[in-house]
Amino acid sequence: MIETDKELIKNIVMKGKRLDKRAFDEYRKIAIESGVISSAEGSARVRIGDTEVVAGVKMDIGEPYPDSKDAGVLTVNAEFLPLASEEFESGPPREDSIELARVVDRAIRESKCIDFKKLCIEEGKKVWMVFVDISVIDHDGNLIDAAGLASVQALASARMPKLIKNKDSYEVDYENRSKEKLPMSGIPVSTTFVKIGGQIMADPLLSEELAMDARLTVGTFDSNGKIRFCSMQKGGNGGFTEDEIAAILDMAEEKGEELRKLIKKG
């Protein structure tokens, strides 16, 4: 984005407005659809405005990590398809795709919404491995929230494949999925806010992200009827004051609950 475009957006914000006429704390229209990939154990498509993300869950068996021999494994990957934006090109993973996967992974992992110990098949030998693959289909800002919603919905809708135990080995029967769901409790969601010219805004457009001074993504989780914070990720070169962070945390609680209701419906 050229400097004149950034200044134009900042001038609009300073007048108390946004490019798409939303309120500063307002999200765009969100649509969540489950079961969009028939070959996956679980999948979901999420649209936030013109941003579109698809997440698929695949499961396999493998060896546990040495420091957690009785727990399953979670791996999150993100791919930016070239058709999603003219900025994306084929080739090695981009730095922002790696960041996207890490932020989504952290919110899920730190919320402890998945009981990984229940994914242990044989301690120290075999565990379930859960792979979440995120594909960015269309990018118009706030990929983190869209990818987080898609990933959690895909995990929540997943059905575990059947496990066949042979004499000395295990085999996964992908043709016959069980009715068993992943051992999940609670719903972690990420809510993203940017700062432009001293103004805090939720659910940024791509143009707003390009003009931002700083970004803060807050992960929240519902635990026994109480909301707690489970992750936080800052982006951009600018910073936030203590008062701004306090305001963002308040908005994250409110907006996070709105997003959780959408997942429960989806």
Residue 127 has what pLDDT?
97
Residue 95 has what pLDDT?
75
pLDDT in tens, 132-187: 999 999 999 999 999 999 999 999 999 999 999 888 889 999 888 888 999 999 99
Domain count, the chain: 1
Residue 96's pLDDT band (cuts 50, 70, 90): confident
Containing domain of residue 227, as a range?
3-265
Find the mean pLDDT for residues 68-87. Answer: 84
* Predicted confidence (pLDDT) at residue 84 exceeds the cutoff of 80: no
Find the mean pLDDT for residues 1-10. Answer: 77
Check which CATH number belongs to the domain holding 25 and give it.
Answer: 3.30.230.70
Quick one: CA dihedral 155, 161, 162, 167, positive or negative?
Answer: negative
